[in-house]
Amino acid sequence: MPSSRGTSSQPAPGASPPRALTLLATDHRPAPAAGLAAAPIDRARGGRTSARPTPTVVRRALRGPRAPLVGEVRLQGSEAAVEVWGPAGTDAATVEAARAATVGWAGLADDPRGFAEACARHPTTRRLHRELGDVLLPTLPSVGEALGRAVVSQLVQGVEAAASIARLVERAGAPAPGGLRCWPTPRAVREQPPHGLRRCGISLRGARALHAGALEDARLERAAAHGHEALASRLWALPGVGAWTVAETRLALGDPDTVSVGDYHLASVVGTALTGEQRRREEWTDAEMVALLEPFAGQRGRVIRLCELAAARRLAPRQRRIAPRARLSAHRYW
């Protein structure tokens, strides 16, 4: 159960913040069988909103009205310990919001009910669920961050997206303890000119979408409070936002049934994992992926994540690489 208390101690060892903080709140949850689902963990050089200082510790910067706070989750055997650190005297509402955001970001607030039943409908997912357990989906603290990360990741390789996100956070995010930075506020995003975002490696189309999302931030948050479908309707109205971006935003906010149609690799990852067939990446289609996922309606996003985890841990077949990685888009940076 969550609790709050004050102390001048430091966070657990591992890239501790450089100045003393106060322990504002603690919480304890059962540890996930598949490990912490905290995502994303920023690893690119530049601004980072989160870090994994040790294999069993994840940490994230959170905005506060007085100063940034730090949320930390530590695996301790069968338990996940959640802590919120910040300035002494932070009001209770801010502390509770930070605790809830940390729990959600670590995937500890997700409810996987129905997932085991869905996995039982296919022999592969039944085996993977037996080996990996329930897949918990993390939830980013704000719609603005979920949309922003999805927009920056449009039509580029993952390493390029990570680098652009790091540049954006370094450019517009507020500094926080431990070398972290907060995700930029909507106002900070609006204040970035298109040519400044281009220097972050963000396309002009992406810059327009980021600005539009920042202008609509309050409406998007209200829509999200009414469910994923209501949010999707708002997102579709934004320039530069399509099916893939809407799905990625919904997934980052914990929608267990969303499918990112239009992804470069996803159809081949899911198809290879569920069927074991080895084909070229371009031979897998979104239509085939959607058909394979149809029996898992209601849990399709979670099943996709299960396939990705299984492929990464070599518990399921994955596509063989037959060529070097494509060159990065150097022209995206000035």
- DSSP character at residue 153: T
- DSSP character at residue 207: H
In a domain, 39, yes or no: yes
Is residue 17 within 8 A of residue 177, CB to CB? The reply is yes
Residues 6+ apart with CB under 8 A from 317: 272, 273, 276, 278, 311
- Indicate the residue among 86, 109, 132 that finishes a domain: 109
Residues 6+ apart with CB under 8 A from 14: 53, 54, 57
CATH code: domain of residue 148: 1.10.340.30
The model's pTM is 0.90
Is residue 196 within 8 A of residue 206, CB to CB? The reply is no
Same domain, 157 and 247: yes
pLDDT given for residue 280 in this prediction:
87
In a domain, 204, yes or no: yes
- Indicate the residue among 252, 286, 308 that finishes a domain: 252
pLDDT given for residue 80 in this prediction:
93
Same domain, 7 and 49: yes
Same domain, 190 and 245: yes
pLDDT given for residue 323 in this prediction:
63
pLDDT given for residue 12 in this prediction:
47
pLDDT given for residue 334 in this prediction:
44
- Indicate the residue among 252, 285, 320 that finishes a domain: 252
Is residue 69 within 8 A of residue 86, CB to CB? The reply is yes
Locus of tokens 């080996």: 131
- DSSP character at residue 121: T
pLDDT of the chain, 334 residues: tens digit per residue: 455 444 444 444 444 544 568 999 999 999 887 666 656 788 888 899 999 988 889 999 999 988 999 999 999 888 999 999 999 889 999 999 999 999 999 999 999 999 999 999 999 999 999 999 999 999 999 999 999 999 999 989 888 999 999 999 999 999 998 899 999 999 999 999 999 999 999 999 999 999 999 999 999 999 999 999 999 999 999 999 999 999 999 999 999 999 999 999 999 999 999 999 988 888 999 999 999 999 999 999 999 999 999 999 999 988 776 666 666 665 555 4
pLDDT given for residue 13 in this prediction:
41
In a domain, 276, yes or no: no
In a domain, 16, yes or no: yes
Phi-psi region of 80 (alpha: psi -120 to 50; beta: other; left: phi over 0): beta
Same domain, 19 and 84: yes
Pairing mode, strands 22-30 and 50-54: unpaired
Number of domains in the chain: 2
Rounded CA-CA distance 251/146 in Å is: 9
Phi, psi (5° rounding) for residue 80?
Answer: -110, 120
Rounded CA-CA distance 68/183 in Å is: 11
pLDDT given for residue 20 in this prediction:
66
In a domain, 285, yes or no: no
Same domain, 33 and 101: yes
pLDDT given for residue 319 in this prediction:
77
Same domain, 148 and 225: yes
Give the domain range for residue 195.
143-252
pLDDT given for residue 178 in this prediction:
87
Using alpha carbons, list the distances in angstroms from residue 47 to 36, 92, 304: 22, 28, 29
Same domain, 213 and 165: yes
In a domain, 101, yes or no: yes
In a domain, 132, yes or no: no
pLDDT given for residue 145 in this prediction:
97
pLDDT given for residue 8 in this prediction:
44
Pairing mode, strands 79-86 and 69-76: antiparallel
In a domain, 328, yes or no: no
